[in-house]
Amino acid sequence: MAEPLDPDMFAGCPPVAAPVRIGDKWTAKIIRCLESGARRFTEIQAPLRGITPKVLTESLRAMERDGLLTRTPYEEIPPRVEYELTDLGRSLLEPMNAGCEWSRKHLAELMHARETWHAATP
């Protein structure tokens, strides 16, 4: 869990690449960020390319409310807050992996169908 997150870890995952979605737009990626252990706010923010603090906070709060992760603030200056997956949150990795495997196998086919679509319409 000490390893820093690769800022480009989601380079190959544009929104279009997710016909299988977990929760809202960011939930699945946040779970991936926490897969290898607890992380701080800015650590999670980095790979999520351009997510605003507001939206990240909203997503994290919703996930905390649903019991997917825990939020533990430390009374320090400067402040430090750590987010960590619960067992429930970790259990989502299973359907997530099924979705990822589907994308790896079939997404190219879907994208191809989508692109050749305009060829056959008035």
Partner DNA sequence: CAGAATCCGGTTCGATACTG
Partner DNA sequence: CAGTATCGAACCGGATTCTG
Angle at 118 between CA 116 and CA 120, to 5 degrees: 90
Among 12, 54, 65, 75, binds DNA (CB under 7 A): 54
Among 36, 52, 91, 97, binds DNA (CB under 7 A): 52
Regarding 41 and contact with DNA (CB under 7 A), the answer is yes
- Nearer Cβ to a second copy, position 77 or 113? 113
Regarding 110 and contact with a second copy (CB under 8 A), the answer is yes
For the packed helices 53-65 and 27-34, what is the interaxial angle rounded to 10 degrees?
80
Number of residues located near DNA, criterion CB under 7 A: 22
How far is residue 91 from each of residues 5, 51, 76, 83, 86, measured CA to CA in Å? 21, 25, 32, 16, 9
CB 33 within 8 A of CB 43: yes
- Nearer Cβ to DNA, position 79 or 95? 79
Regarding 119 and contact with a second copy (CB under 8 A), the answer is no
